[in-house]
Amino acid sequence: MKVGITYDLRADYLSQGYSEEETAEFEGIETIDAIDDVLRRLGYQTDRIGNVHNLIARLAAGERWDLVFNIAEGMHGYGREAQVPALLDAFRIPYTFSDPLVLTLALHKATAKQLVKSMGFPTADFTIVNNESELDTVHLPWPVFVKPVASGSSIGVSGSSKAEDKSELAKVCRDLIGRFQQPVLVERFLPGREFTVGVVGTGDRARSFGVMEIHLRENAEPTVYSFSNKQNYKTRVSYRLGQDDVALKAEQLGLCIWTGLGCRDAGRVDLRCDAAGEPNFLEINPLAGLHPVDSDLVIMGGLRGMSHSDLIESIVASACERLPGRAKKSTGAA
């Protein structure tokens, strides 16, 4: 079975002049090496395709794969994570992780929150600010929390993301809109505990493999799981498996949101508690990082005894259920 691997290599974009922050979501070669190694040990013939431009060229040249292990994030637009899956759909090539629709709505945090709210699940009240002239449209209780509407890896999230009044809100909105050239999400600040729920599988086969609570240490940037705290997690953050009633409630909520949005194979759902201690949806990551040591999903798996290899194998097994002929076999059809 020939398995292609699509990805955005951070070094490629750095060499083109993009900044460290702009490329923070992209992969280092150690991640690609680790995934490739696991796939080969599972018996697959691997082929490193690379980014969407490489994929286009190789599809045009007539190349095909039985399955593509897709972790490509893309660079531009709200649909950047959907570019590779959309191409693969057009050529009827199966791939890991969610489809273009899910990846696009998940990346746009306001859209994801609106859908989750429509399903009856709790999420903090919010609005979108496109430019400074819209600040007067924000009618939320203080403090509020501000972040780019379509960035991952906590890019643009810092201690200043928590705004206590209108002047602080204006300052952070100007900064983020100017830096990232996209609207910002402004939501009611949730002061409670923060969790991330790891999920593997699709539909009625999806299952949580743990809920991880995020504790900021004394030397961390306070209050928020910021970009800086994530980059320096070994000294600033303590990760613990959640096992009490609140954590289990967060775990169940995360799994319900995962299946409700139609996510596939593996990923994370991030939640934070309100002042009453109730878990609320923050955002969902159906294309979570897979660094063999540093990614939240891998760290969580390690706390539960799931190795990086086990995680990759579970992802491929879930994706293989969608291969031609598998669906009929699983239902007992001839």
Q: DSSP letters along 20-38, please?
A: TTTTTTSBPHHHHHHHHHH
Q: Is 111 part of any domain?
A: no
Q: Is 101 part of any domain?
A: no
User: Is 51 found in the same domain as 77?
Assistant: yes
Using DSSP's 3-state secondary structure scheme, residue 286 falls into: coil
pLDDT at 222: 87
Q: Is 327 part of any domain?
A: no
CB 147 within 8 A of CB 161: yes
User: Is 282 found in the same domain as 222?
Assistant: yes
pLDDT at 265: 98
User: Is 199 found in the same domain as 163?
Assistant: no
| Cis ω for the linkage preceding 143 (within 30 of 0) | yes
Using DSSP's 3-state secondary structure scheme, residue 95 falls into: strand
pLDDT at 19: 85
Q: Tens-of-pLDDT digits for all 334 residues of the chain? A: 999 999 999 999 999 998 887 888 899 999 999 999 999 999 999 999 999 999 999 999 999 999 999 999 999 999 999 999 999 999 999 999 999 999 999 999 999 999 999 999 999 999 999 998 899 889 999 999 999 999 886 888 888 899 999 999 999 999 999 998 999 999 999 999 999 999 999 999 999 999 999 999 999 988 889 888 988 999 999 999 999 999 999 999 999 999 999 999 999 999 999 999 999 999 999 999 999 999 999 999 999 999 999 999 999 999 999 998 764 333 332 2
Buried b (16+ CB within 10 A) or exposed e, 215-252: ebeeebbeebbbbbbbeebeebbeeeebeeebbebbbe
User: Is 77 found in the same domain as 151?
Assistant: no
Q: Is 333 part of any domain?
A: no
Report the number of distinct structural domains present in the chain. 3
Among 188, 212, 232, residue at a domain's last position: 188
User: Is 267 found in the same domain as 163?
Assistant: no
pLDDT at 153: 67
User: Is 250 found in the same domain as 132?
Assistant: no
Buried b (16+ CB within 10 A) or exposed e, 24-38: bbbbeeebbebbbeb
Starting from the edge strand earliest in sequence, which strands make up the sheet with 2-6, in order? 45-50, 2-6, 67-70
CA 85, CA 71: separation in Å to the nearest integer?
10
CA 65, CA 43: separation in Å to the nearest integer?
15
Among 76, 95, 114, residue at a domain's last position: 95
Among 43, 73, 95, residue at a domain's last position: 95
Q: Is 103 part of any domain?
A: no
| Token pair for 258 | 């995962």
User: Is 172 found in the same domain as 234?
Assistant: no
User: Is 288 found in the same domain as 217?
Assistant: yes
CB 175 within 8 A of CB 308: no
CB 187 within 8 A of CB 172: no
Q: Is 228 part of any domain?
A: yes
The CATH number assigned to the domain holding 213 equals 3.30.470.20
pTM score, two decimals? 0.93
User: Is 136 found in the same domain as 54?
Assistant: no
User: Is 302 found in the same domain as 235?
Assistant: yes
3-state class percentages of the chain: helix first, strand second, coil last, to nearest 5: 40, 20, 35
The CATH number assigned to the domain holding 161 equals 3.30.1490.20
User: Is 229 found in the same domain as 214?
Assistant: yes
User: Is 71 found in the same domain as 137?
Assistant: no
For 158, the domain range is 125-188
| Token pair for 142 | 């203080």
